[in-house]
């Protein structure tokens, strides 16, 4: 399963399931925008994604 060339937006991306989804999408080849009211958590996910 590949997401190469796709653009994704994940809300609730600061932790738990949202963070796991964001990283899995990135590993599958997608660009990912990480959204959360916990901005620090979302930025941490974004670092993991990169």
Partner 1 sequence: VAAAAKDAFGRLDILVSGAAPHDTGGAVTETTLADWERVVAVNLTGSFLLCRAALPLMIAGGGGSIILIASQLGRVGSAGRAAYCATKGALIQLAKVMAIDHAGENIRVNALSPGAVETARITRRYGSFEAARAAIGPKHVLGRLGQPPEIAAAAVFLASDASSFVTGSDLLVDGGYTAT
What's the longest Cα–Cα distance across the chain?
Answer: 30
User: Comparing C-alpha atoms, which of 1, 35, 38, 37 is closest to residue 49?
Assistant: 35
40 binds partner 1 (CB under 8 A): no
State the minimum distance, in angstroms, from the CB of residue 39 to partner 1.
13
Neighbours of 30 (CB within 10 A): 18
Least distance from C-beta 16 to partner 1, angstroms? 3
Chain residues 17-36 in contact with partner 1, contact rule CB under 8 A: 17-21, 23-25, 28, 30-31, 33, 35-36
Extended strands (E) in the chain: 7-11, 31-35
Interacting residues toward partner 1 by CB under 8 A: 1-3, 6-13, 15-21, 23-25, 28, 30-31, 33, 35-37
């Amino acid at each position: 399963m590949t997401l190469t060339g796709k653009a994704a937006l994940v809300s609730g991306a600061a932790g738990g399931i949202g963070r796991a989804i964001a990283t899995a999408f990135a590993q599958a080849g997608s660009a990912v925008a990480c959204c959360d009211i916990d901005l620090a958590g979302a930025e941490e996910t974004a670092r993991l994604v990169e």
